[in-house]
């Protein structure tokens, strides 16, 4: 057992200041990911700063018609919120597709967004892993890589991002508000997580000590016709092999607008902008949905030894999800 200290900060500024002074400190929210990582010796913070009671635990209407979700809102509360279920169904469904009821009761919005990859080698401290120990190598490249990335990976890391909620937030064009040692900033969710490149140890674009305080979801009408679909090995309690969160606006049989984000296939939630572009102004047909999915995947996908199945799986899940949305109108 490695000793560490536990701090319950009085306010956001205090929490941020404590982390700024301690390079090996970490924020603790629900602890459902961080505590597991500490037990396994994957991360070993000297100081845990408990932030669960510091930020808002409420979902509030914004004047522009969007929603503000406090970083401490439990995943189960967010999924059950009436405003979320009616205006952003993809977000509620994505949350309910993740983890288990007990975990969702404890897990928070801030912690969910910033949870670490589920690559098995990252959790196994007896194996090389560039994300855990930069420069040690990537065990997954030649190891078991069925669950790993098919888009945007690098030779240094082929891990996938684990959060279902973040995939829905990406489709919904959410913004994340951060409070850090240098002040406050608002980041489009698309810019929060990053591809591994030469620095697989960095999951996000955040600086040490930046605390997520809330997430804003904008008021786009198209988003009420949204849904999420998750392909996984078990019906519950399993991370995505491939997931899709999408919103579709169809008028007179023609696609006016589309939002598509993919999970389980890259180091970050993958916004399928090529597919979206291909769909705008085209008839809402199965053939066009399939063709758009192909455009997103075929040129850029680089499957590993064990995960070539993800390419047709992603194509089929995208097509089925868009069909569901076009038929619901």
Binding site for ligand FAD (CB under 6 A): 26-34, 51, 71, 75, 98-99, 103, 106-108, 110-112, 114-115, 162-165, 211-212, 237, 239
Of the candidate residues 27, 121, 270, 289, the single one contacting ligand SF4 (CB under 6 A): 121
Of the candidate residues 49, 138, 240, 266, the single one contacting ligand SF4 (CB under 6 A): 138
Question: What are the beta bridge partners of residue 243?
Answer: 230, 263
- Min. distance of Cβ 131 from ligand SF4 in angstroms? 4
- CB under 5 to 8 A by kind: which of ligand SF4, ligand FAD, none does 122 bind? ligand SF4
Could you give the CA distance from residue 131 to residue 160 in angstroms, rounded to a whole number?
A: 12
Which secondary-structure segment (H or E) carries 328? helix 310-328
Nearer to ligand FAD, 37 or 278 (CB): 37
What is the DSSP pairing of strand 47-50 with strand 25-28? parallel
| Cβ count within 10 A of residue 231 | 18
Q: Phi-psi region for residue 252, left (φ > 0), alpha (ψ -120 to 50) or beta?
A: left
- Min. distance of Cβ 119 from ligand SF4 in angstroms? 3
Query: Segment near ligand SF4 (CB under 6 A), from 122-130, 271-279, 291-299, 309-317?
Result: 122-130
What lies within 8 Å, CB to CB, of 28 at 6+ separation is: 6, 34, 35, 48, 49, 50, 51, 52
Asked if 29 contacts 110 with a C-beta cutoff of 8 angstroms, the reply is yes
Nearer to ligand FAD, 66 or 110 (CB): 110
- Min. distance of Cβ 220 from ligand FAD in angstroms? 23
Footprint of ligand SF4 on residues 190-229 (CB under 6 A)? Answer: 200
Of the candidate residues 25, 150, 151, 159, the single one contacting ligand SF4 (CB under 6 A): 159
Of the candidate residues 75, 76, 109, 139, the single one contacting ligand SF4 (CB under 6 A): 139
Could you give the CA distance from residue 327 to residue 253 in angstroms, rounded to a whole number?
A: 10
Nearer to ligand FAD, 58 or 329 (CB): 58
Whose CA is closest to 191, among 207, 203, 204, 177? Answer: 204
Query: Segment near ligand SF4 (CB under 6 A), from 54-62, 82-90, 128-136, 258-266?
Result: 128-136
- The footprint of ligand SF4 on this chain (CB under 6 A) covers a number of residues equal to 14
- Min. distance of Cβ 47 from ligand FAD in angstroms? 11
- CB under 5 to 8 A by kind: which of ligand FAD, ligand SF4, none does 139 bind? ligand SF4
Nearer to ligand SF4, 122 or 289 (CB): 122
Asked if 297 contacts 315 with a C-beta cutoff of 8 angstroms, the reply is yes
Of the candidate residues 91, 140, 174, 322, the single one contacting ligand SF4 (CB under 6 A): 140
Could you give the CA distance from residue 274 to residue 276 in angstroms, rounded to a whole number?
A: 5
- CB under 5 to 8 A by kind: which of ligand FAD, ligand SF4, none does 29 bind? ligand FAD
- CB under 5 to 8 A by kind: which of ligand SF4, ligand FAD, none does 26 bind? ligand FAD
Query: Cα 61 to the chain's mean position, in Å?
Result: 23
Asked if 274 contacts 295 with a C-beta cutoff of 8 angstroms, the reply is yes
Asked if 313 contacts 291 with a C-beta cutoff of 8 angstroms, the reply is no
Residue 157 makes contact with ligand SF4 by CB under 6 A: yes
CA–CA distances in Å: residue 156 to residues 142, 199, 270, 303: 12, 8, 19, 15
The residues of the shown chain that bind ligand SF4, judged by CB under 6 A, are 117, 119, 121-122, 129-131, 138-140, 157-159, 200
């Amino acid at each position: 057992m490695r000793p560490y200290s536990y701090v319950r900060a009085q306010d956001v500024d205090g929490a941020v200041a404590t982390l700024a002074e301690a390079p090996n400190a970490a924020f603790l929210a629900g602890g459902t990911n961080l505590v597991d990582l500490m037990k396994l010796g994957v991360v070993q913070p000297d100081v845990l700063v408990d932030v669960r009671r510091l930020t808002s635990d409420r979902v509030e209407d914004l004047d522009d018609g969007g929603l503000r979700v406090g970083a401490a809102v439990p995943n189960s509360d967010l999924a059950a919120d009436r405003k979320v279920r009616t205006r952003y169904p993809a977000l509620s469904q994505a949350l309910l597709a993740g983890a288990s009821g007990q975990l969702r009761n404890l897990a928070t919005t801030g912690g969910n967004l910033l949870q670490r990859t589920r690559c098995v080698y990252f959790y196994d401290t007896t194996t090389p892993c560039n994300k855990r120990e930069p420069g040690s190598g990537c065990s997954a490249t030649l190891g078991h890589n069925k669950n790993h990335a098919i888009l945007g990976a690098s030779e240094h890391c082929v891990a996938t991002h684990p959060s279902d909620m973040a995939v829905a937030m990406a489709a919904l064009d959410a913004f994340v508000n951060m409070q850090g040692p240098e002040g406050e900033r608002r980041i489009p969710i698309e810019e929060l997580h990053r591809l591994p490149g030469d620095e697989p140890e960095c999951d996000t674009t955040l600086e040490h000590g930046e605390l997520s305080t809330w997430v804003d979801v904008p008021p786009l009408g198209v988003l009420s016709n949204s849904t999420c679909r998750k392909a996984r090995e078990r019906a519950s309690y399993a991370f995505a092999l491939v997931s899709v969160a999408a919103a579709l606006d169809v008028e007179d049989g023609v696609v006016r607008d589309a939002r598509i984000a993919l999970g389980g296939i890259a180091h970050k939630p993958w916004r399928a902008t090529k597919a979206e572009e291909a769909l705008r102004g085209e008839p809402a047909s199965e053939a066009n949905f399939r063709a758009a999915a192909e455009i997103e995947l075929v040129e850029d996908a680089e499957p590993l030894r064990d995960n070539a199945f993800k390419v047709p799986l992603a194509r089929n899940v995208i097509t089925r999800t868009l069909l569901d949305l076009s038929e619901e109108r």
